[in-house]
Amino acid sequence: MYTIEKTHEIADKIFEIWVNAPHVARNARAGQFVIIRTDETGERIPLTISRASGDLVRIVFMAVGKTTHALAAIKAGDAIADIVGPLGHPSEIKAWGTCVIVGGGAGIANTPCIAEALKAAGNTVIGIIGARNAGMLILEDEMREACDELHVTTDDGSKGRHGFAADVLKEIVAERKVDAVWIIGPTIMMKITSMATKKKGIKTFVSLNPIMVDGTGMCGSCRCQVAGKTVFACVDGPEFDAHEVNFDQLMQRQRYYMDQEKEALARWNQHVCSCGEGR
Amino acid sequence: MGDRPADIRVRDFLEVDCGLTADEAVAEANRCLGCKKPACVDGCPVNIDIPAFIGLIAERKFTEAALSIKTQNMLPAICGRVCPQETQCEVLCILGKKEKPVRIGQLERFAADEERRTGIKAPVKKAATGKKVAVVGSGPAGITAAGELAKEGHSVVMYESLHLPGGVLTYGIPSFRLPKDIVKAELDQVLSLGVEVKLNHFVGRSVPLDELLSYDAVLLGTGAGLPYFMGISGEHLNGVYSANEFLTRVNLMHADRFPEYDTPIAKSSRVVVVGGGNVAMDAARTARRMGAKVTLVYRRRAEDLPARLAEVHHAEEEGIEFITCANPTRILGEQVVTGIECIRMKMCELDASGRPSAVPINGDTFTIDCDVVIQAIGQGPNPVLVREIQGLERGRAGNVVADGDGRTAHPKIFAAGDVTTGAATVILAMGGAKKAAQSINSLLATR
């Protein structure tokens, strides 16, 4: 069992939890992820490592399905059954020159760490973070701290620029020389946003989040098409060259269990209503 | 007692084979001639003194029989169930020449089950040596090596990346063939020697390599968990599984009991399993128990099926349809699988394995409607850790090259099981692990 030391709703339906997991925290690097299982009947789900500090790992996630709702309902001092990691390769941190880090929605979770690592490696780092509205924007302070400049967008204009992160990225790459770009967010957002750097051939990384089970390369559930080849996001990724990823196929595979996910969430909501658990 | 009726057992995941009663076991044990030079022992990868333990069963000394086995094999209840005895010990039994060989596997299982029923005694271990050994992986190789090394008095830490120990015994082999309480009981007995198991530790990631190499010796038993895919079109459709994924979802995550358990799995009415080995049989029979009509497609002839004959029979009894001499060419569907196209295969001259090579017959294709395709065409050695360790020699399949005693090119690192051989059997992994443990012992004795 792994204790949740702190938990906090940092934005609308977006939570941060700090899990006591020395084996993960002491070895985590920017860009990696964990797989967690909340309890004995739980499923294994991958979540990005937002930050590691001492023996604690910070995970930032949006309550979307049953497992994330259950995770959000865990109180500080309680525990989750399992956390394995850090998994996957770290981000490719080196002296690129000028880097742009784009985070969308809950995908902003691990952008501060990547930005900090790139900054420490001597890069100029430009941040763009976007959310649906001001109430769903996360980690703005950390990104402002980590980046040389930060742009904020909201879909509804309630904060920062009215529009999408992709709009800002397009302008930046039109005006300046950019050497590497990270785009992390919902799959559709990564697909659309990465088009902004394709023509110019700017090296662009996206962090893929397909359905996983073990996270160690043993099941193949997370297989994706990158540059026409089958790769396992868990051990070959999670970051890949955006311009080589078959996003449509990824989205198709992410939808496979939609019916069961709805059913599980409905059961959870019923459970919360009947016993008053949760938030 | 024999097998439970097929029409009953396809509705649950309880064990198919009920084993022997005490009287049946004694009668079977009495058939053993107690050969002076027992050929059966030569066939056993861990050299169990087979006539000795069978003799004890004949005398109704069941616990003593189990203890006798356990001097050579700490996992008799598991091996009694999943070893291919018919090609190892039983095939060499002298009685098999005229009638049926002694049912050694059933007797091994019986003795182990009797001991477990009456309470397993903690194994004895030597005084602490002060040496520390890391065992990577808690499958058949890892458990065996950990047990052997702990008995010698070494301090053993066993790492497992999943949330439960046991490796393929836990995530791979279904409970109707190997009940999980039995796996747990035999595993607990090894852990009772003081082996520390660290779950959720993915060595190479959660445990850096320098930390791993700070142990006095390391045993790699990371197995062959890398699923192969055929590389045909349609493989990325929803509903295409590797056997590993399908079995893991059910055996480890209990997806068959969704939504009581959170892990989902396809709600399928018609499943096609590709492959002919034990894993293919396990996947087919698991899908059958979840209510699907199941067809198994194998590229060679029925007599070439690599699975144990008993498993093929079990699968047939349970209503699995076999289509042999056929191979999938593409998987059909828009987003979700709707069918699989296969081509008939012609059997040509025998290859090195003594089986005919299968060659497609041009144009002779047919389609099977289905909503799930499970590929059970084999697994390769887990590559992740192995490729990151400097100083290991790797074979063509990505396996760790080790000699017959588990020694690798790295002086501190030993390897056993599927990571050295590619996908093989539980017992071969255990045999390899025993030898590797002996090599580690000799290394530690010289220091």
- Closest partner residue to B206 (CB to CB) among A37, A66, A85 is A85
Confirm or reject contact between A223 and chain B (CB < 8 A): yes
Provide mean pLDDT across the span B54-70.
Answer: 96
Q: What is chain B's mean pLDDT, rounded?
A: 94
Our CA-based measurement puts residue B136 at a distance from the nearest CA of chain A, in whole angstroms, of 14
Checking ipTM against 0.90, whether it exceeds it is yes
Q: Which residue of B has its CA nearest to A87?
A: B205
Provide mean pLDDT across the span B150-154.
Answer: 95
Q: What percent of chain A has pLDDT over 70?
A: 98
Mutate which: A219, A221, A267, vs B, most B CBs within 10 A? A219
Provide mean pLDDT across the span A26-37.
Answer: 97
Our CA-based measurement puts residue B246 at a distance from the nearest CA of chain A, in whole angstroms, of 8
Q: Which residue of A has its CA nearest to B260?
A: A41
Provide mean pLDDT across the span B30-54.
Answer: 94
Confirm or reject contact between A216 and chain B (CB < 8 A): yes
Interface of A with B in 88-127 (CB under 8 A): none
- Closest partner residue to A43 (CB to CB) among B198, B245, B253 is B253
| Domains of chain A, first to last | 2-87 (2.40.30.10), 98-254 (3.40.50.80)
pLDDT over threshold 50, residue A78: yes
Q: Do B264 and A261 touch (CB under 8 A)?
A: yes
Can you give the pLDDT at residue A275?
Answer: 67
Q: pLDDT digits over A256-266, tens only?
A: 999 999 999 99
Provide mean pLDDT across the span A76-89.
Answer: 96
Can you give the pLDDT at residue B388?
Answer: 86
Can you give the pLDDT at residue B183?
Answer: 96
pLDDT over threshold 60, residue A278: no
Can you give the pLDDT at residue B161?
Answer: 97
| Domains of chain B, first to last | 6-118 (1.10.1060.10), 132-225+379-445 (3.50.50.60), 229-375 (3.50.50.60)
Can you give the pLDDT at residue B185?
Answer: 94
pLDDT over threshold 60, residue A95: yes
Q: Which residue of A has its CA nearest to B243?
A: A219
Burial of A132 (0-12, 13-18, 19+ CB in 10 A): middle
Q: pLDDT digits over A141-199, tens only?
A: 999 999 999 999 999 999 999 999 999 999 999 999 999 999 999 999 999 999 999 99
Our CA-based measurement puts residue B437 at a distance from the nearest CA of chain A, in whole angstroms, of 26
Confirm or reject contact between A23 and chain B (CB < 8 A): yes
Confirm or reject contact between B205 and chain A (CB < 8 A): yes
Provide mean pLDDT across the span A77-102.
Answer: 97
Confirm or reject contact between B41 and chain A (CB < 8 A): no
Can you give the pLDDT at residue B357?
Answer: 87
Our CA-based measurement puts residue A269 at a distance from the nearest CA of chain B, in whole angstroms, of 13
A98: pLDDT confidence band, cut at 50, 70 and 90? very high
Q: Do B264 and A260 touch (CB under 8 A)?
A: yes
Q: Give A223's contacts in chain B (Cβ within 8 Å).
A: 229, 236
**Inter-chain contacts counted by CB atoms under 8 A, chains A and B:** 121
Q: What is chain A's mean pLDDT, rounded?
A: 95
Q: What percent of chain B has pLDDT over 90?
A: 87
A276: pLDDT confidence band, cut at 50, 70 and 90? low
Q: Give B171's contacts in chain A (Cβ within 8 Å).
A: 214, 218
- Closest partner residue to A213 (CB to CB) among B245, B383, B384 is B245
- Closest partner residue to B258 (CB to CB) among A82, A84, A260 is A260
Interface of B with A in 266-305 (CB under 8 A): 266-267
Torsion of the alpha carbons at B423, B4, B21 and B118, rounded to the nearest 10: 70
